[in-house]
Amino acid sequence: GEGSRKYRRTVYNHDLWVKHRSPDRFFSNLRTLVNSGIYKQVGKEVAATVGVASFVCLWNALVGGYQGFDGTMHDPIIHNAFFQVVGL
Which tens digits make up the pLDDT trace of 15-35? Answer: 888 888 888 888 888 888 888
Query: Distance from first CA to last CA of the chain, Å, rounded?
Result: 34
C-alpha to C-alpha distance for 19 and 31, rounded to whole angstroms:
15
Residue 47 has pLDDT above 70, yes or no: yes
Confirm whether pTM is higher than 0.85: no
Which tens digits make up the pLDDT trace of 63-82? Answer: 999 999 999 999 998 888 88
C-alpha to C-alpha distance for 27 and 48, rounded to whole angstroms:
25
Asked if 12 and 20 count as a contact pair (C-beta separation under 8 A), the reply is: yes
C-alpha to C-alpha distance for 24 and 60, rounded to whole angstroms:
39
